[in-house]
Amino acid sequence: MKSSFKQNSPSPVEKSIQHQRLVSTPEGEEARNGFTKKYLQNPLKKLFTHSEAWFNLAFGTAMNPFYHLGSLAFFFLWIVLVSGIYLYIYFETGLQVSYQSIEYLTNEQWYLGGLMRSLHRYASDAAVITVVVHILREYALDRFRGFRWFSWFTGIAPLWLMVMLGITGYWLVWDQVAQYVAVGSAKLLDVLPLIGGGMARNFLGENMNDRFFSLITLLHVVGGPMALIFALWIHVKRISNVSPMGPAGLALGSFLALLALSFIKPAVSHAPADMLRIPTALDIDWFYLNVFPLLQYWSAEAVWVLIFGVTLLLSLLPWLPWQKTPPAATVQLDRCNGCGQCLEDCPYDAVSIQARSDGARWENEAVVNPELCASCGICIGSCPSSNPFRRVDKQLTTGIDIPNNPVHSMHAAVNSALAALDGPVKILVYGCQHGVDVTAVNSPGVVTITLSCTGMLPSGFVDYALKKGADGVMISGCRSFDCHYRFGNQWVEQRLRRERTPSLRKKTDRKRIESCWAADIDSDKLPGEVELFYQRILSDKNRADAR
């Protein structure tokens, strides 16, 4: 039997009631649609979303590396740290002995020392690649402004420190590449006002000594890593549930890939450094040493202008233009029992639990930090009071709410949507403003509601729709593991599977609930999924009627 959920020309009345849009749109959205949005962000976004679709087919959404770039970068740095500790045990500091100690590890102890050196090298490169892709992806998806400015801005310092650690690491090998790095570094340092011309050159030639080499070792082994750890801690300070390695399977696969590369193409040194000779051919690491070749064509001053110019541009991007986040969530103490589920679910660590301030019978209460709140509404879906079956005198209230997008608006929207349903099968679709456009499936038999984030959907609203006339409920939003607000779709799935509170009631018929996680470019996916869902519900109803 052919479905009837699609309708080409709905009446004006149907248009007004088939879709309810409940979103908190940040101020400054109109300013985004300029030159950079059209010619930079949108093409990059298409590139990423299409590439990620292929990776989803190959690895599955849970293991897609694009969805775990930050965690993967942490994991690679852990490999760098562990392998670096082993290398330092055998490393001898000094101009005359460092090269020999590295050669001993590479050739005489190839089975472990050489392997650790290769892992150290390739994991360092992988970390830089991952970080750069992470930066480009966050920019393409516009996840760097508004409430996210802090994470973006504080991510610049770790990038600088990673490059510094890479440069000093190559210096320590003291081969021809190290010589090339030392000469290039001297040129760059000479033009800095605080260093002074000629001071850096004193470190080269006959004046290069073990004391200076010990200083480089100290920077690479102690000072740099400690500074990087502190900078990374600041970088993730405003987000919760940070994974230090990502999914175990993805981490293991990445490690095995690095291990295989280390065996296939071991990292080796060039000839020993000789300050009296100029190397003629070098195989440099472009991930860390990319600015040094510019010194052959540009002045040191011009290279610094490029470096600081790129740094300044990255620093200012969150304000070009600025995006103002909608009003933060507020706590309604008369409905808050201090359960702490909003704290568990908040993706940006904006909620804390403190001692009760109103003398109520409960011990604790939720407190929202407006500076950290993303106004995503996920806390609404977390609150047990967001229960549409509760008897209320005037309008539904909950323990924590979004002023611009309160739960009673959702309650009213669901009631209006259910009243608009008509036909042999009635389906309500909950969507997300950052995922696929759900309005494409509007029809008399299918009504849609767009939320700021699917994570703001309380599980009780699914059961409520089924009790109040819907034959089926479909939930849509961003692709799995790629929620615009980090965890919204994951929390919804767990609530529906009764793995997270507040969970779906046990007696609810799970067969009448479906999900379709898709990005905005996956416009063809949702209609097909709704069609299949419609047919399944219709078939079940026909069988029930036949009995």
Neighbours of 56 (CB within 10 A): 19
CA angle 516, 517, 521 (to 5 degrees): 110
**Tens of pLDDT along the chain (547 residues)?**
344 555 444 433 344 446 778 887 665 554 455 778 888 899 999 999 999 999 999 999 999 999 999 999 999 999 999 999 999 999 988 888 899 999 999 999 988 999 999 999 999 999 999 999 999 999 999 999 999 999 999 999 999 999 999 999 999 999 999 989 988 988 898 888 866 555 555 555 555 677 778 888 999 999 999 999 999 999 999 999 998 888 999 999 999 999 999 999 999 999 998 877 887 788 888 999 999 999 999 999 999 999 999 999 999 999 988 888 899 999 999 999 999 999 999 999 999 999 999 888 899 999 999 999 999 999 999 999 999 988 766 789 999 999 988 999 999 999 999 999 988 999 999 999 999 999 989 888 999 999 999 999 999 999 999 999 999 999 999 999 999 999 999 999 999 999 999 999 999 999 999 999 999 889 899 999 999 999 999 998 888 877 6
Q: Are 190 and 197 in contact (CB under 8 A)?
A: yes
Give domain 31-278+291-319's CATH superfamily: Cytochrome Bc1 Complex; Chain C (1.20.810.10)
**CB-count burial class (<10 Å; 0-12, 13-18, 19+) for 372:** buried
**CB-count burial class (<10 Å; 0-12, 13-18, 19+) for 376:** buried
Q: Which two tokens stand for residue 434?
A: 């950052």
193 Cβ contact list (under 8 Å, min separation 6): none
Rounded distance between C-alpha atoms, residue 430 and residue 470, angstroms: 12
**CB-count burial class (<10 Å; 0-12, 13-18, 19+) for 86:** middle
Q: Are 236 and 66 in contact (CB under 8 A)?
A: no
Where exactly are the structural domains of the chain? Answer: 12-24+376-546, 31-278+291-319
- Single pTM value for the model: 0.90
